[in-house]
Amino acid sequence: MLRLADLGKTYPNGVEALAHVSLDIPQGEIVAFVGGSGCGKTTMLRLIAGLESPTSGRIELDGETLAGPHPSVGVVFQEPRLLPWLTVAQNIGFGLGGLAKAEREQRVEEALLRVGLAGYGDRWPRELSGGQAQRVAIVRALVARPKVLLLDEPFSALDAFTRASLHEHLLGLWEANKPTLLIVTHDVDEAATLADRVIVLQPKPGRIFAEPALGLTRPRDKVGHEFADAKRRILAALDGSLQATPAAGKTPEIAGAWW
């Protein structure tokens, strides 16, 4: 269980990025965070990753308070951030130094196979396309088998076809060990495709505004009425988050679409 307990973050310049964010996320759940600019989505991921410290509140993983980077928490950024002086296989195995060589090599080979890059281990990052590089970044994070994986708009720079393909690869990798996935995205279709739960954040300061019901099963039928209805509920919540100013401590409910 990942728990955010009354989490808040105020920067030295006085900007309150997050306030009173409380959330329980069971192991294996996929949660997408959406919201307007300045609602604290990336700040929240950075706090969970241990890259920044909260001003108030706490973050717990299975009862342990997280006070910095933790081996059970992996991160995938917007850019692949592969090490250019290492091969693809060496990049994937970079965090597996504590394993025996045979097990490390086996994990790397299995990871490459799962994302359709078998035989690419000896290539250099510069020889990969954008989609291939991001696949490597994702398996590099997952090959260490973290309990929680944070993804900060990992597909935003890719074309629609490549993005859809990587959604399938990500879900396939998730099926293997069922880590908790926290995904920041501006893409409503992406949120509805990937998430078990969507959290809409409201800005100034960033806080939870709504959890629109999805009512979707896997695999997702992206041309079905249920999928379209789920997207409308997310969009309605987003629209409300940018217009409403709820009273302190209250989270308004979104009853339906605004059109």
pLDDT band at 244 (very low <50, low <70, confident <90, very high): low
Least confident of 165-169, 172-176, 189-193, 242-246: 242-246
> What is the mean predicted confidence (pLDDT) over 174-197?
94
> What is the mean predicted confidence (pLDDT) over 84-110?
92
Residues 64-68: contacts with CB under 8 Å, at least 24 apart: none
> What is the mean predicted confidence (pLDDT) over 220-241?
94
Radius of gyration of the chain (CA): 19
Dist. CA 168–CA 59, nearest whole Å: 30
> What is the mean predicted confidence (pLDDT) over 157-163?
84
Q: How many helical (H) and strand (E) elements, i.e. helices and strands, does the chain have? A: 7, 10
Residue with tokens 């806080």: 207
∠ Cα 164 149 53 (to 5°): 130
- List of domains in the chain: 2-82+147-243 (3.40.50.300)
Secondary structure letter of residue 121 according to DSSP: T
pLDDT band at 95 (very low <50, low <70, confident <90, very high): confident
Dist. CA 259–CA 256, nearest whole Å: 9
> What is the mean predicted confidence (pLDDT) over 119-138?
93
Whether the predicted pLDDT of 53 surpasses 80: yes
User: Can you give the pLDDT at residue 84?
Assistant: 96
pTM for the full model?
Answer: 0.88
User: Can you give the pLDDT at residue 251?
Assistant: 46
Q: What is the mean pLDDT of the chain?
A: 90
Secondary structure letter of residue 1 according to DSSP: -
Whether the predicted pLDDT of 155 surpasses 60: yes
Whether the predicted pLDDT of 246 surpasses 60: no
> What is the mean predicted confidence (pLDDT) over 227-239?
95
Whether the predicted pLDDT of 258 surpasses 80: no
Relative orientation angle of helices 101-114 and 160-177, to the nearest 10 degrees: 140
- Residue 106: its H or E element: helix 101-114
> What is the mean predicted confidence (pLDDT) over 78-84?
91
